[in-house]
Amino acid sequence: MSRILMLLLFGLWAGPAFCEIKTCPSDWNQRRRGDCWIQTGAFGSLAWAYVHPKGWVVDPRCFQDQRFSRRELMEALDLAWRRLSPSVPKDKGGCLSRYNPGWAAQLERRIWTWRMHLSCPEPGGQESRNFPAFCASHREVGEIHLLSLLNITSCQGCPDWLSGVIFHETLHGAGADNFSTEEHNRALFDSQKMGFMRDRVYATSALCYLEPSPEFRRYVNPFMCREVASYGNEAVLDAGASWMQACSGLESHYTNSLPSCMLSHGR
């Protein structure tokens, strides 16, 4: 089906007025066509949802969320994509392009093909109250991966925190976990074992969001980077010099904590 322009009464994108929106082709996810709208019941009742240019399907309630502006959300998604993209160099906001470009390419594809949906349940509503210790959550619902922003303000404080929360849940959605959910949710309390360093989701989030900040990079060390660099590419571990080269320049001391703003679950 070709793209068509429709006039719709839609007050979320450009105010309470008639406005033009662009509908996506039916195979938008296969063809990776974004910056358009689809009708979906994924967020509750049937509604028009925006497909971000990099593939996330955005709940229309996100555009009314008082905790961030539409612009802040778009910038957060754009940064999350740059951090995981295989084609954005580190000095342009990239991250995985340097540390694990093969995984980066897989992640970029899976946002589309694994149907990542960013949900914004009502702040303070039932879903947030069900998980009071969670900034955000991920769950599979049929064919889609629902990334829900819950009590996100408790994750404020880290660099680019909103983007970091979305990035973290996107990693879950893309199957990056190497710990069980239970272990992951308590990893940050398990400081004796320093589980957070081996937890791929936390290690990757720290590497991509804390390392670029002079204030926060002391939390990131080469062993967290090693978890990232070796994923799907275990030969990197054998070639010790290879990952050490990719991970050079990080703080060499062992941190036994992450900043509290990084704790996405189980506070």
**Minimum separation from the CB atom of position 8 to Zn ion (A):** 36
Query: Is residue 170 within the footprint of Zn ion (CB under 5 A)?
Result: no
**Minimum separation from the CB atom of position 265 to Zn ion (A):** 5
Query: Is residue 148 within the footprint of Zn ion (CB under 5 A)?
Result: no
**Minimum separation from the CB atom of position 176 to Zn ion (A):** 10
Residue nearest to Zn ion (CB): 264
User: Considering only residues 108, 170, 264, 266, which one is a binding residue for Zn ion as defined by CB under 5 A?
Assistant: 264
**Minimum separation from the CB atom of position 186 to Zn ion (A):** 11
Query: Is residue 151 within the footprint of Zn ion (CB under 5 A)?
Result: no
Query: Is residue 205 within the footprint of Zn ion (CB under 5 A)?
Result: no
DSSP symbols for the chain? ----EEEEE-HHHHSSSEEEEEBPPTTHHHHT--SEEEEE-TTSSSEEEEE-TTSPEEPGGGGG-TTS-HHHHHHHHHHHHHHH-SSS-GGGT--HHHH-HHHHHHHHHHHHHTTEEEE-PPTTSHHHHHSTT-SEEEEEETTEEEEEE-SGGGGBTBTTHHHHHHHHHHHHHTT---S-HHHHHHGGG-TTTTHHHH-HHHHHHIIIIITT-TTTGGG--HHHHHHHHHTT-THHHHSHHHHHHHTTTS--SPPS---GGG--S--
Toward Zn ion, which CB reaches closer, 106 or 264?
Answer: 264
Q: Which stretch binds Zn ion (CB under 5 A): 4-12, 36-44, 234-242, 257-265?
A: 257-265
**Minimum separation from the CB atom of position 118 to Zn ion (A):** 15
Contact residues: Zn ion, CB under 5 A: 264
